[in-house]
Amino acid sequence: MRELWKLNPYIAKYPHLLLGGMIFIFLTNLFAVYAPSLIGEGVNAMKTFDDAFLAPIRDGQTEAMLFAESPVPEFPFTLKRIQAWFGGDTEAWTTGLNGKEDALAWIQRLALWQAGLFLLAYLVKGVFLFFTRQTIIVMSRRIEYDLKGTIFDQYQRLDATFYKAQDTGDLMNRISEDVSKVRMYLGPAIMYTLNLTMLIILVVIVMVYIDWKLTLYALSPLPLMSVGIYFVSSRINRQSEDVQRQQSGLSTFVQQHIAGIRVLKSFKRERDATKRFAKEADRYKMSALDLVKTEALFMPIIVLLVGLSTILTIYIGGQRVIAGELEVGHIFQFIFYVNLLTWPFASVGWVTSLVQKAEASMKRINDFMEVTPLIQSPLANNSAPVTMEELAFDNVSYRYPETGIEALQGISFSVKRGQIVAITGRTGSGKSTIAQLAMRIIDPCQGKVALNGKSLTEWDLDALRGLTGYVPQDVFLFSDTIAGNIAFAMSGEEAELEAVKGAAEEAHVAHNIERFERGYNTVLGERGINLSGGQKQRISIARAFLRKPHLLILDDCLSAVDTETEDVILKSIRKRGNEAAVLIISHRISSIRGADHVIVLDNGRVIESGTPSELVEAGGLYARMVEQQTESA
């Protein structure tokens, strides 16, 4: 339970709901226990009445004599109370009883009253049950909401390095499956536990008060039932997890085959796929059948043991009635109680497994919440940069922790406001790593990246990112409208449509967008699949432009556009370059020809740097690239 204790601060936010829930559970059980006593009372009253009037008649005594001599029969306690409250005259009921017909009518009237009162008690119980759920379950839903919020905040705080080491599906489970298992603890588990505890206390008090010996007999099979059901339900849990695993395996299989249907068909693998599907489905069927077999044990166990309890109650109770130690109505009452306890006892096993699952889920949530992001804002928040004058890499090295690859070694260069610096080099040479270091998505292992002379780690992280516009190498577009995707750059307030259009114009994508039927309101698929690669890149560029960033980083984002379009965009960049620092990463000479300064990377090191014309003269890798690319053009 140690992990679940961490939930206490969340519960403490809703003390009224928990307390209210406890009160309602108590009241629900009070009426649940009270209702059967009405049956007991009623039966007892009828029995005494029968003994006094009707039994002697059956034995042959004459009616007239009996009704004249016998005392007025006792009313059940509750009924008497109610009559008294409403000023009714209990005596009036019984005076003038004259003969067998009258006596039978009296019994009928009494039975109707008791039945009515019984119904009323159950109705009141139902009302309280409604409020119980309205408090405890509402509390669990509220906490679920809070917990999801906290987890989502943590998702946002964590850095790229963390995400690379994690499986997305697994991370998603924290906020979906794990939270819902914890909620099952907060809602049903707490509710049933409180309910069982209060019900047992109340029922046992009443039963012992009536007859402690009979209580022992009647309740003896119930713990057995709890244990039996615990074993059955743990087995059910294990097996249903099995079934779930098979099922998700099956859906993954189908999903893969639907997604890759074109490849599947072009390689003519349909028959093979069908065979493999049949095998997977068969495995699923087998575990589902196992589960059904175990589940089939559940009800018989309950029925058997409750039946045993009932038989013991009737047998032992009957003997005690014959011995004159118990009234017959109480046997009825006991049978009600045994049945009342059935479901709570049966649910002990279920609740236990709920708690166990919640404990495991909460441990995963706690572990996740305890991860501290590597990239954090400095604690003193007065260090927000307002402009960017210069971004300088000073002898920077970076090694990817997961793979141990030395992506960068001793990199030094700087980019000033109004300058365009291009970075080129073979694939895998470390260009994108530089972009990530410049954005402080990762921190260097050695050396320092400095903004305006001060290390990035000393600047406020939000403000720092606020200055930059980044076009990543792998474009990501949200399933939103085109306008929404471009305006994503602006936080909070909606970006003006005019500004969005302006940015699209500069990124040379406006004319494409306007040709769509719904223009800027065109909704993109999950990864913008209804756009061409070049269109996606340019929308991503427009997004960065919209921000009017002080530092613009373009990571190989012109690879999928034709040279004409490239020219237009480069002109826009050049225009922006007057007030911003620009970092262009590209393989294409046409993209970097116009830069003020070019850095050529190879294997994580700077092998050449200078103005484009200097590099051509130097006759190194850059010169060779120029040669090759002009040849092929």
With CB under 5 to 8 Å by kind, the binding choice for 428 among ligand ATP, Mg ion, none is: ligand ATP
| Residue labelled with tokens 């059967």 | 36
Residue with Cβ nearer ligand ATP (361 or 429):
429
HSE-CB at 564 with a 13 A cutoff on CA atoms is 1
Rounded least distance, CB 473 to Mg ion, Å? 5
For residues 553 and 407, give the distance between their C-alpha atoms in angstroms, rounded to a whole number.
19
Please tell me whether residue 430 binds ligand ATP under the rule CB under 6 A.
Answer: yes
- Name residues contacting Mg ion, limited to 444-483 (CB under 5 A): 473
Q: CB under 8 Å, gap of 24 or more: what pairs does 607-616 form? A: 607/425, 609/413
Please tell me whether residue 164 binds ligand ATP under the rule CB under 6 A.
Answer: yes
533-546 vs 497-506: helix crossing angle, rounded to 10: 120
Amino acid at 88: G
Please tell me whether residue 432 binds Mg ion under the rule CB under 5 A.
Answer: yes
Which segments within 417-472 are labelled E, that is strand? 420-425, 446-451, 454-455, 468-471
Residue with Cβ nearer ligand ATP (143 or 438):
438
Position among 294, 429, 485, 586 found at the interface with ligand ATP (CB under 6 A): 429
The number of residues that bind ligand ATP (CB under 6 A) is: 15
- Name residues contacting ligand ATP, limited to 525-564 (CB under 6 A): 556
With CB under 5 to 8 Å by kind, the binding choice for 8 among Mg ion, ligand ATP, none is: none
With CB under 5 to 8 Å by kind, the binding choice for 430 among ligand ATP, Mg ion, none is: ligand ATP
Q: Which of 608, 579, 582, 578 is nearest to 595 (CA)?
A: 582
Rounded least distance, CB 167 to ligand ATP, Å? 15
Rounded least distance, CB 293 to ligand ATP, Å? 48
Q: Which helix (H) or strand (E) holds 358?
A: helix 328-369
With CB under 5 to 8 Å by kind, the binding choice for 164 among ligand ATP, Mg ion, none is: ligand ATP
Please tell me whether residue 559 binds Mg ion under the rule CB under 5 A.
Answer: no
Rounded least distance, CB 374 to ligand ATP, Å? 13
- Name residues contacting ligand ATP, limited to 25-54 (CB under 6 A): none
Give me the 467-486 binding string for ligand ATP, x by CB under 6 A, dash otherwise. ------x-------------
Whether the CB-CB separation of 546 and 421 falls below 8 Å is answered with no
Rounded least distance, CB 470 to ligand ATP, Å? 14
Please tell me whether residue 366 binds Mg ion under the rule CB under 5 A.
Answer: no
Rounded least distance, CB 429 to Mg ion, Å? 9
For residues 586 and 426, give the distance between their C-alpha atoms in angstroms, rounded to a whole number.
10
Residue with Cβ nearer Mg ion (41 or 555):
555
Residue with Cβ nearer Mg ion (195 or 468):
468
Whether the CB-CB separation of 320 and 211 falls below 8 Å is answered with yes
Please tell me whether residue 409 binds Mg ion under the rule CB under 5 A.
Answer: no
Please tell me whether residue 397 binds ligand ATP under the rule CB under 6 A.
Answer: no
Pull the structure tokens for residue 77. 């306690």
Residue with Cβ nearer Mg ion (56 or 428):
428
Q: What DSSP string describes 497-552?
A: HHHHHHHHHHTT-HHHHHHSTTGGGPBP-TT-TTS-HHHHHHHHHHHHHHT--SEE
Please tell me whether residue 428 binds ligand ATP under the rule CB under 6 A.
Answer: yes
Please tell me whether residue 91 binds ligand ATP under the rule CB under 6 A.
Answer: no
With CB under 5 to 8 Å by kind, the binding choice for 237 among Mg ion, ligand ATP, none is: none
Rounded least distance, CB 607 to ligand ATP, Å? 13
Whether the CB-CB separation of 73 and 48 falls below 8 Å is answered with yes
Position among 8, 62, 168, 427 found at the interface with ligand ATP (CB under 6 A): 427
Rounded least distance, CB 512 to Mg ion, Å? 25
Pull the structure tokens for residue 577. 């370059």
For residues 532 and 559, give the distance between their C-alpha atoms in angstroms, rounded to a whole number.
13
Task: Please say whether the dihedral angle defined by the alpha carbons of residues 605, 607, 609 and 612, taken in this order, is positive or negative.
Answer: negative
Q: Which of 482, 549, 548, 542 is nearest to 506 (CA)?
A: 542
The CA-atom distances, in angstroms, between 377 and each of 21, 186, 542, 550, 591 are 43, 35, 28, 20, 34
Residue 51: partners with Cβ closer than 8 Å, 6 or more residues away: none
Please tell me whether residue 407 binds ligand ATP under the rule CB under 6 A.
Answer: yes
| Residue labelled with tokens 């260090």 | 383
Spacing of C-alpha 557 from chain mean position: 37
Of the candidate spans 7-15, 374-382, 424-432, 571-579, the one that interacts with ligand ATP by CB under 6 A turns out to be 424-432
Spacing of C-alpha 206 from chain mean position: 42
Residue with Cβ nearer Mg ion (280 or 406):
406
Whether the CB-CB separation of 378 and 458 falls below 8 Å is answered with yes
Residue numbers of the site for Mg ion (CB under 5 A)? 432, 473
Residue numbers of the site for ligand ATP (CB under 6 A)? 164, 400, 402-403, 405, 407, 427-433, 473, 556
